[in-house]
Amino acid sequence: MDTVENLTVDVATSTQSQTRSSLWQLPWGSIVIIAAMVFVAVFAPLLTPHSPIEQSLPDRLLPPAWQEGGTPKYPLGTDLFGRDLLTRLFYGARVSLVVSAVTLLAGGGVGLIIGLLSGYVGGRLDGVLMRAVDATLAFPTILFALLLAVTMGQGLRTLVIAVSLILWARFARVVRGEVLAIKARDFIALARVRGCSHLRIMLVHILPNVLNTFMVLLTLHMGFVIIVEASLSFLGAGIPPPTPSWGQMVAEGRGRLASAWWVSTFPGVAITLVVLAFNLFGDWLRDRLDPKLRQL
């Protein structure tokens, strides 16, 4: 009886130790930064009394509160038009989050479907789809977005369409490779012997096995989309002013780095931290979901 109780205690202790170890292995830095971005994006109107677009020319180019000439009313200072920089950072996070989410759902979803069809059907269809993927990947994302901005005009819709039309190919190529590997496994052959339809095999037997890879791709490409959105806004082909965007904010202060460094520095730091957080979280997620890379 004592032996059984001791064994139970040992198992419970081991389970608690593994749980604590798993918690310590989480990328807490990335999680905190991502959670903070989502929080300020969702609750931006409640976190600041200032408007992101209302100008106050008497308060233009005020330094951060801790510098001489700064005021607690504007903790990170103001821009060229007297707008609160912290407020615009909060609302800029909302723009980046919306663009990334919509673009990844659209482009990633199309890439997932095309990758499934290409890898499973094979033959001529696979050849045609992969040549389309090659042609899409060969076209520069920034140049394509600039062409669309010229023809369709600036705006959220143009930005989402431009990035989605490039992004789907990245997902399609990776998903196709996963499908080719899964299609050759024994359980797919058994499903065919049992008379399962092609649609059922793709949706029930193949799709769940590629979702882990798909989720990792989504996480890793969040940073990519934020960089593209910021780059296009910096070049004037993204979100039009006065709507705040991190890339646009960097562009507004690039000519005054010596006298008003905060105008470009703070949005640049925000872009760097968020992109790095998503990349590190994506790397961690890949290691956790891939049995070959998972640390025991």
Residue 17 in any domain: the answer is no
What are the 10-residue block averages of pLDDT along the chain, 296 residues in total? Answer: 49 47 70 91 88 86 87 89 91 89 90 91 87 86 78 80 86 91 85 84 87 86 88 82 87 85 91 91 81 51
Residue 65 in any domain: the answer is yes
CATH number for the domain spanning 169: value is 1.10.3720.10
Domain count, the chain: 1
Q: Which of 125, 33, 40, 132 is nearest to 86 (CA)?
A: 40
Residue-number span of the structural domain to which 110 is assigned:
27-289
Residue 7 in any domain: the answer is no
Residue 5 in any domain: the answer is no
Residue 1 in any domain: the answer is no
Residue 19 in any domain: the answer is no
Residue 222 in any domain: the answer is yes
Residue 10 in any domain: the answer is no
